[in-house]
Structure 1
Amino acid sequence: MPSLMTIAPELRDQVLKEVLFPPEREPPDSPAASQDRVRRVYSGDTTDYHDGHDIWVPRTPLVAPDQHPRAILLVNRQLYHEGSALLARAAGRKTPHRLDVMYVKECGLWPTWLSVVPRAARHIDTLHVQFRIFDPPGDVDPVRRNPRQFVTRNVGGEPLAVWNLFALLSDYIGHGPTAFEPRVGPPCPHTVGKLVLDVAVPPPGTVDDNMGFSRDSPQTVVLEAFAKNDISKHWPRPPRGQTHRMVAEKMAYLVAGKIGALLSMYEDYGAPLYEHIGSIDICVDGQSRRLFDLDELMHIIPTRPFAAHSAKSRAQKQRQFDEWKSKTWAKRRSLGVINPRPVVLTCG
């Protein structure tokens, strides 16, 4: 009887591909079809805890455990060499990994891995995140509803819905694929060459309610001004009557604005993005709307003088920033897609 080692090499390659490269799964049809979700748990020094964000993940993760699927490489030397060759060729193709995120109004973000991302991978070339917009299911668990996610805690601050987005980014670069598992793994920095945040256009007939924000909220004021073409006139608008397309454009515009604001906070909240991501492309149905080339941004920051009570304190902040910038350039070079120019701009 034929065995794996006696069949033709071409057939054995096909078997190895099936094992080494599990197929992507399709995204959930809707939140109603994907309600078996839990809030993520982190392991503390003495007890487990939740981070308080409205991010709900599938109870059964798709992330590949460490021993699978590459355990087949340990069977014998021949399978090791043949399997390693397949993995090397696949690495050269730079296949993007895909994450689906359902934005469920009042219920936060519901991420689902579509690709199997090995936990051992500390860097991926492209992470494609698809955002889809939904109203909450009629039978959604009341525990998941949180109308206060649209409320700003402090004057001038961001609502919880925006902090959910920030947590989505920071948790991946801080924990890797397990950031979207029921139990988040220990801190383990991950890097991404290109991060694509792609908002899918919802079906015709979708109501434009400004993503669920109240009429008098700052977010609604901005989104309505955007829809009227009063701001950001370079941004493409859909033809009149295509309200469903405007829903996607508004979300992409809001996400781009928040990412831009985050990157402007390079002294604190924005620093991890410069340290771990090559570029961020905001898209609508695959069409780029705003590309953040973090190489270019690295060359122009700091864009303002450092606030300090004395010249000595300001000089100290400048030195600390220059040290951070030098280390960050080195880290970005390690991504393999970063080619920093020697010019360094500072602002005294």
Structure 2
Amino acid sequence: MPLSRLPRELRDHIYTFVCFTVRDEPQPSTCQKEDRRTREPSDSLAPVIRDRVWVERRPIHNPLLSLMLVNRQVYQEAQDVLRRIGDSPDYVLDVMFLKDEALWPTWLSVPKLGRNLGTVYTQFRIFHVPDHLRTDDGGDLYGSEGPGPPPIVWIFYHLLSSFLRNGPLATKKDDDNGGFTVRTLILDFLPASEKGILPLASLIQYFKEVDDISASTSSDFDWKQNTSDEGLLAAEYLAHFIKALLLRLLSLGPLTIKYGRILYENVGDIEIWVDGHTKWRLDIPKLFSDVSFDHGIDTSHVLKNEQKFQHWKEVTSRRRADIGLLPDVSLRR
């Protein structure tokens, strides 16, 4: 039966179903570098992460767009459905972490492209690196010759900052127009399905050091836990590393204020999950309320910088209120 002969209510259900269609997760064995490209980091302090974050060359298009080309009637009805979805629907992002090598992010669901996103569910899957996806640079991602953090930190920060600046768009340059806001960012770390992913000894040592200087006052992670589920333990390790990294950024210390501000400006709240279950909620609104000026930022111009900080916090507070950066629980399990 032609689509036009179906009842309008049924057609609307079809449009909605198509709009929220989720793409299949990519697999490392079938991925090709020719279909991806790297994006130059906008921050010159992070040259070590070149060729480490591989994004799709083409921006993802909502499947509904093809349906809208059928005829004028379908176009108008599909537009009506898009308007009813709202301004900030939920999105799904998949990130393959090729162990100690690179990140491959893939948008699985983009119901409607807009600047203000609702809940963004991001799943992290951990794999060994297939030979055809190895980079030429086989350097140590956990070692750092300079005073800054090791490359592994820059890789994840570049993924985060690029996502907040560019959203699902496959732009060649970072967007400087305020970027994309996310009401609730869910980071779900899934158990590794491959054997031999552990040990991540260097990763563990680094986030233990970060714990000592982050906003975290205590660790609820058992470093000596013994489990036969190696895949789940790998997810736990990676989740704790990201938690420690985010808390350090959110503390807006002397070395991180330049990088952490974008989280307060663009993210309503962050939840960290392991295998579909909530592990931590970072409570961005409370952290933002409590964050204060660190006099170690520039001791030679303390007053001037403190005034700048207070101005930034007032502007950011208004921005968060204006764009409704409030938690959303629509995807909680």
TM-score (norm 1): 0.75
Task: Specify which of 170, 173, 177 is matched with residue 161 of structure 2.
Answer: 170
1:133-282 equivalences under 5 Å are 133-137=126-130, 139-143=131-135, 146-155=138-147, 157-178=148-169, 181=170, 183=172, 186-188=175-177, 189-203=179-193, 205-210=195-200, 213=202, 218-219=205-206, 232-233=219-220, 240-265=227-252, 267-282=257-272
Look up the match of 1:13: 12
Change over 3 Å in CA distance of 1:309–1:136 after alignment to 2: closer
**Residue aligning to 2:32:** 35
Distance 1:79 1:56, change over 3 A: closer
Residues 274-303 of structure 1, C-alpha deviations (whole Å, 9 max, x = no match): 000001111111222221121101111116
Instruction: Report the residue type matching 1:86 in the other structure.
Output: V
Report if aligned partners of 1:53, 1:167 keep a CA contact under 8 Å in 2. no
* Structure 1 pair 297–202 and aligned structure 2 pair: CA distance change class (3 A): same
Contact 1:192 1:335 in 2 (8 A): no
- Aligned equivalent of 1:299: 289
Which of 18, 21, 24 pairs up with 2:22? Answer: 24
Q: Is the 8 A contact 1:199 1:248 kept in 2?
A: yes
Segments of structure 1 that go 5 or more residues without pairing to the other structure are 226-230, 340-348
Q: 2:108 aligns with which of 97, 105, 114?
A: 114
Which segment drifts farther, 101-110 or 231-240? Answer: 231-240
> Is 1:275–1:332's contact at 8 Å kept on the other side of the alignment?
yes
Whole-angstrom CA distance in 2 between matches of 1:237 and 1:100: 30
Given that 2:128 and 2:197 are in contact with CA atoms closer than 8 Å, whether structure 1 keeps it comes out as no
In structure 2, the CA distance between the partners of 1:73 and 1:305, relative to structure 1 (3 Å rule), is farther
Give the secondary-structure state (helix, strand or coil) at the position aligned to 1:315. helix
Q: Is the 8 A contact 2:192 2:234 kept in 1?
A: yes
CA distance in 1, matches of 2:181, 2:252: 19
- Which whole-Å deviations, capped at 9, do the CAs of 1:103-154 have from their partners, x for residues lacking one? 11242101111113544x10111111111111111x3244355333333131
* 1:128 equivalent in alignment to 2:121: yes
- Corresponding position of 2:323: 335
> In the superposition, relative to structure 1, how do residues 53 and 265 fare at CA in structure 2: closer, same or farther (>3 Å)?
farther
Tell me which residue corresponds to 1:321.
309
Q: Whole-Å Cα distance in 1 between the matches of residues 207 and 118 of structure 2?
A: 35
Aligned-partner SS, 2:313: helix
What secondary structure is seen at the aligned counterpart in 2 of 1:324?
Answer: helix
SS of the equivalent of 1:321 reads helix
* Cα distance in 2, alignment partners of residues 64 and 27 from structure 1: 16
Distance 1:143 1:40, change over 3 A: same
**After superposition, what is the alpha-carbon deviation per residue over 1:5-62, rounded to whole angstroms, capped at 9, x for unaligned?**
554213432443355x05111212x312223443324699xxxx99725011345x45
Give secondary structure in 2 for the equivalent of 1:253.
Answer: helix
- Is the 8 Å Cα contact of residues 89 and 112 (structure 2) preserved in structure 1? no
Q: Taking structure 1 as reference, are residues 70 and 167 closer, same or farther at Cα in structure 2, changes over 3 Å only?
A: farther
Instruction: Give CA-to-partner distance per residue, 1:41-96, whole Å, 9 cap, x none.
Output: 4699xxxx99725011345x4511899358559925x853x43442244338x652
State the identity as a percent: 26
Q: 2:95, 2:164 → 1: CA distance?
A: 16
Take 1:235 and 1:95, find their aligned partners in 2: how far apart are those partners? 37
TM-score, normalised relative to structure 2: 0.78
1:264/1:66 CA distance change after superposition, 3 Å: farther
1:329 deviates by 0.7
Q: 1:320 deviation in Å?
A: 1.1
Q: Cα gap change, 1:315/1:42 in structure 2, threshold over 3 Å: closer, same or farther? A: closer
The 1-side partners of 2:91 and 2:154 are apart by 24
Amino acid paired to 1:35? Q
CA 12–177 in structure 1, closer or farther in 2 if over 3 Å, else same: same
- Name stretches of at least 5 consecutive residues in structure 2 with no aligned partner: 213-217, 328-333
Q: Distance in 1 between matches of 2:186 and 2:233?
A: 20
Q: Residue 87 of structure 1 is aligned with which of 63, 69, 82?
A: 82
Contact 2:94–2:122 (8 Å) recurs in 1 = yes
Q: How big is the shift at 1:200?
A: 0.3
